[in-house]
Amino acid sequence: MINTGKLAGRTLFITGASRGIGKEIALKAARDGANIVVAAKTAEPHPKLPGTIYSAAEEIEKAGGRAHPCIVDVRDEVQVRTAIQEAVAKFGGIDIVVNNASAISLTNTPNTDMKRYDLMHNINTRGTFLVSKECLPYLKKSNHAHILNISPPLSMLPKWFGPHVAYTMAKYGMSMCVLGMAEELKDDGIAVNALWPRTAILTAAIEMLTGAESAQWSRKPEIMADAAYAILSREPKQFTGQFFIDDEVLEGAGIKDLKQYACVPENADNLMVDFFVEAKGATAATAAPAAAGASTPTAGSDNGKIPQLFQKIESLLSPEIVSKTQAVFQFNISGAEEGIWYLDLKNGSGSCGSGTPPTTPDSTLTMNSNNFFDMFSGKLKAAPAYMTGKLKISGDFQKALKLEKLMKALKSKL
């Protein structure tokens, strides 16, 4: 998307702007000559995550904007208020708030400790509410006031809650702020909207969740930045309370070829759909996966394949594989070959078979038999399967994703 200059001189307060989507939105606005408040926690380089508020500020100024880096934990009222006061003192006001800061834990109820629960809710929901609330006096003075939350459309489908209800509640809290504040502030001329990606976006967070190969099925953060720019360039009184999806925004702006945003252009038609949305063109009814335990394949269609598969896996086990994996997996299979199987890659030289594992599993994977075969044959990757509801994971999420590397190594031998 070509910059139009509509954000020149505007001041954007962006949380979580030191990296990822937040930084890309900042850079896009900076090319118009906007003022950017980089409100994030990272002041010193992180051992695993790139970028600090200072390195982001340097990039913003090189792009043509003015930057003010602020150490801000959105859970801290004093830090938030101080950053806002500094922004107003330096730039004269605040026109746009982008609530991007977020925390994620894709754990089920038993595996979500309350410290992690509180972190997600305090950053996602409370932080969004706090930053928006404290910026309101200045937004009301602006003639181009926007609040944009990086949060999903609200949907009450159980499949978005079951695997990680704590995260869904926290993320939907941001979206509920959109719904409520849009109605509350419409007479003040403040647009309050949400933006969410159709597909996985290549950020440090997605790489930590799904591994180094996540680029294969992700889009670049630039697609979110371009979509945000299109929204924030509009007159705020013309629309509010909308839940936008990035590709729909860009198509509405006349950008039809989205291949440029794919990290790997050859995979542009085979991207991983993000949480809380359906694939392009699909409806909730057609895209919803079969419930866990539903027996969708014809009985007997895969008869005997699972025992043969595990026999083959057993013949390939070695101390080397065990030392690299260090995890015990349980597979709850529904469909034509319903049953429970295990793979112990933690003890001795490894073992596998039917029934529950001899020791407590680190990860339990639930899927139907067709998806199970597709996953072990390399046709279905674990991370996209999880995000689209074809695979349910309880226990250690990261160890479950280690299976992908194992399957890739064993694929030629199975």
Active-site residue, 138 included: no
Cα distance between the two ends of the chain: 46
**Residue 195 CB contacts under 8 Å (≥ 6 apart), including other chains:** 148, 149, 150, 151, 224, 227, 228, 231, 244, 245, 246, 249
Q: Which of 158, 138, 230 has its CA nearest to residue 193?
A: 230
Least Cα distance to 223 among 249, 252, 193 occurs for 249
d(CA 250, CA 24): 16
- Separation between Cα atoms, residue 414 and residue 401, nearest integer Å: 19
The residue type found at 209 is: L
The 8-class DSSP code of residue 26 comes to: H
CA atoms within 13 A on the CB side of 132: 29
- Nearest C-alpha neighbor of 93 from the set 51, 52, 37, 55: 37
Please give the backbone phi and psi of residue 263, each rounded to the nearest 5 degrees, phi first: -60, -40
Collect all residues with Cβ–Cβ distance below 8 Å to 407 and sequence separation of at least 6. 375, 376, 378, 382
- Rounded to an integer, what distance in angstroms lies between the CA atom of residue 71 and that of residue 17? 11
How far, in Å, CA of 288 to CA of 73, rounded? Answer: 37
What is the DSSP-derived secondary structure letter of residue 328? Answer: E
Beta strands in 173-263 (DSSP E): 191-196, 243-245
The 3-state DSSP class for residue 291 equals coil
Q: Which of 117, 167, 172, 342 does the annotation list as catalytic?
A: 167
CA nearest to 241, candidates 201, 191, 203, 285: 191
User: String of b and e for 386-409 (b: at least 16 CB within 10 Å)?
Assistant: bbbbbbbbbbbbebbbbbbebbee
Tokens standing for residue 227: 């979509």
**Spatial distance between the Cα atoms of 371 and 357, rounded to a whole number of angstroms:** 21
Which residues are part of the catalytic machinery?
167
